[in-house]
Amino acid sequence: MTRTLAELRKAVENLIQQQGENAPVAAWIYTKEDVMDYPDPDGEVDVTEEVASKVINSLDQYDHIYTEIFDIIDDELRQMNVLN
């Protein structure tokens, strides 16, 4: 799910209220800077802010990322004998 930084801040604040500020969390955050500064073997790629925003917003189309994370959670729970 892509969000603005303001939306992300609000979501994190809500999570802190619900779960406490010391609750464990795993997060990966990619911003336009990650796209704009993308390394290219031939030098830096010249990416505009508009293109970077489109790339970030298109990440929602890749459901396999979420599937992979949940598969890993499932595997970890099975290794800990929490799931059969």
Q: Mind listing the pLDDT tens digit for each residue in 41-83?
A: 776 667 888 999 999 999 888 889 889 999 999 999 999 999 8
Mean pLDDT of 28-41: 84
Instruction: Report whether pLDDT(39) > 70.
Output: yes
Half-sphere exposure of 32 (CA within 13 A, CB side): 12
The pLDDT, as a whole number, for residue 44 is 64
Domain boundaries of the chain, sorted by first residue: 25-84
